[in-house]
Amino acid sequence: MSKIFRLLPLMVLLILAGAISTNADEVGGIIGSDTTWNLSKSPYTITSEIQIDRGITLSIEPGVTINGKGHRILVFGNLKAIGTEGSTIKFYDTNIVPADDSSGNNHLIQITFSYFKRGSIYQSMNHPYGNLILKNSKIENVN
Cα-Cα end-to-end distance for the chain: 64
Q: List, for residues 87-130, the tens digit of each pLDDT value.
A: 999 999 999 988 876 666 678 999 999 999 999 887 666 655 67
Looking at the predicted structure, is the pLDDT value of residue 27 above 60? yes
Prediction pTM value = 0.79
Return the pLDDT at 25: 87
Residue 42 per-residue DSSP state: P
Looking at the predicted structure, is the pLDDT value of residue 79 above 90? yes
High-pLDDT (> 90) share of the chain, %? 59
Q: How far apart are CA 12 and CA 67, in angstroms?
A: 33
List of residues 6+ apart from 51 with CB closer than 8 A: 29, 30, 31, 74, 76, 99
Return the pLDDT at 16: 40
> Is the Cα dihedral 127, 130, 134, 139 positive or negative?
negative
